[in-house]
Amino acid sequence: MKTLPLLLPSLYILLSLTLSHGLTKKPTDLEVFHMYSPSSPLRPRNNPSWEDTVLQMQTKDKARLQFLTSLVAAKKSSVPIGYGKNIVQSPTYIVKAVFGTPGQTLLMALDNSNDNAFIPCTDCVGCSTTVFAPTKSSTYKKVPCGAPQCAQVPGPLCSLDKTCASNFTYGSSSVQTRVSQDTLQLAQDPVPTFTFGCIEKTTGGSTPPQGLLGLGRGPLSLLSQTYNLYKSTFSYCLPNFKSTNFTGSLRLGPLGQPVNIKTTPLLRNPRRSSLYYVKVVGIKVGSKVVDIPPSAFAFDPNSGAGTIFDSGTSFTSLVKPAYIGVRDEFRKRMGNATVTTLGGFDTCYNVPVIIKAIPSITFMFDGMNVTLPQDNFLIHSSFGSTTCLAMAAAPDNFNSVLNVIANMQQQNHRIFYDIPNSRIGVSRQMCS
């Protein structure tokens, strides 16, 4: 009789310990939206048709691919502003981040191929909106010229008041920022004295409306700045752009990451340390390994050649010999039915296609084969009258040596970036 009252409080203590332990150890998950998704406040107001949306995404991809190519180019990178000032090429997925004290909420674009974090601030010249007011934050600080962070930003400048500024290009934009520090809150985790750029001036159409959160690996990236918290580990599941009900997420840190997941080694290009290079060994269409010259997939840090996972490009882009090989085999397996085009897609069918007759497509990475579900390589018009193979050859008006595994091919998968163990994992997960 006596044991029960004693047992109950200890059970209670044990339970509450477990509970509070469980609470503090919650994974850091941020909701991820597609910029065009019906739930996104940044969706274009004119409600474009399916065709227009696809064409717009292709145009943005061209600008994006040109930007990525200029990043990896053997020569000193300069960004040709070939795709016009009206083209917004900013990345397509956004997350909610809170800056300052009290917090000001922003919907920042995610870009895994970039290290920078920058946001439009009060008095910005050329920003489409100003969303962050430094004077309303009690924890906001400017970084002085002598600070180590000032040596790590791209294009450092020292202002008259001896605070640090940074001048760089992003896509087709040139951006000038005041190097700043403030508290950043991601989900439940505060990151004090996070270094970022407060945009003072920008030109061109690539600056995301509410700023950019880079997930690259460089010294000033979010990952480097939060190493103690997140150990340079993250994963995401990107929802389909058409979905309204989704649970897309960005998960920061080792907690709650997939354990049994197929992985492939990450390669490092010292000239472009922020890009996530992997090795592709081949591509299968149906059961056939397509005959593609190995040079199409060769990794070469000097020329920048190789294959990257990019969250900001919509449709996978392969160097010409690889794309032609995949496309021809795909067409053949579609029974040589009449093909049509849609913008940059050259393998579309206007007849309702028989889903069962469509061959699978498998990316063979070093140590990991990923067979894409149809939703990851086919797009269908709203009425199902057009179906296209949603990949393309790298645009040939600039010298592209880069294969880009784009977000359409990553959607509804968990993509796990494990930098300490130098690997990327992929597993199927429905999040849209």
Ligand X SMILES: *[C@@H]1O[C@H](CO)[C@@H](O)[C@H](O)[C@H]1NC(C)=O
Q: Which residue ranges make up the site for ligand X (CB under 6 A)?
A: 157, 167, 174, 176, 244-245, 289, 332, 335-336, 364, 367-369
Residue closer to ligand X, measured from CB, 80 or 192 = 80
Q: Kindly state the smallest distance separating residue 365's Cβ from ligand X, in Å.
A: 8
Residue closer to ligand X, measured from CB, 81 or 406 = 81
Q: Kindly state the smallest distance separating residue 2's Cβ from ligand X, in Å.
A: 51
User: From its phi and psi, is residue 331 left (phi > 0), alpha (psi between -120 and 50) or beta?
Assistant: alpha
CA dist., res. 230 & res. 250, Å (int): 12
Q: Kindly state the smallest distance separating residue 245's Cβ from ligand X, in Å.
A: 4
Residue closer to ligand X, measured from CB, 41 or 192 = 41
CA dist., res. 211 & res. 204, Å (int): 14
Q: Kindly state the smallest distance separating residue 3's Cβ from ligand X, in Å.
A: 47
Helices (H), 247-304: none
Q: Is 115 part of the annotated catalytic residue set? A: no
Structural element, H or E, at residue 230: helix 227-230
Catalytic annotation, pick one of 61, 111, 115, 418 = 111
* Three-state DSSP state, 407: helix
SS3 content of the chain, % helix, strand, coil (to 5): 20, 35, 45
Q: Kindly state the smallest distance separating residue 235's Cβ from ligand X, in Å.
A: 20
- CA 188 to each of CA 21, 29, 230: distance values in angstroms, whole numbers, following the listed order: 15, 9, 13
Q: Is the peptide bond before 48 cis (omega within 30 degrees of 0)?
A: no
Catalytic annotation, pick one of 61, 182, 310, 418 = 310
List, in sequence order, every residue forming a beta bridge with 174; answer none if it has no partner.
169, 203
Residue closer to ligand X, measured from CB, 139 or 369 = 369
3-state SS, 296-313, equals HHCCECCCCEEEEECCCC
Residue closer to ligand X, measured from CB, 335 or 384 = 335
Please list the active-site residues.
111, 310
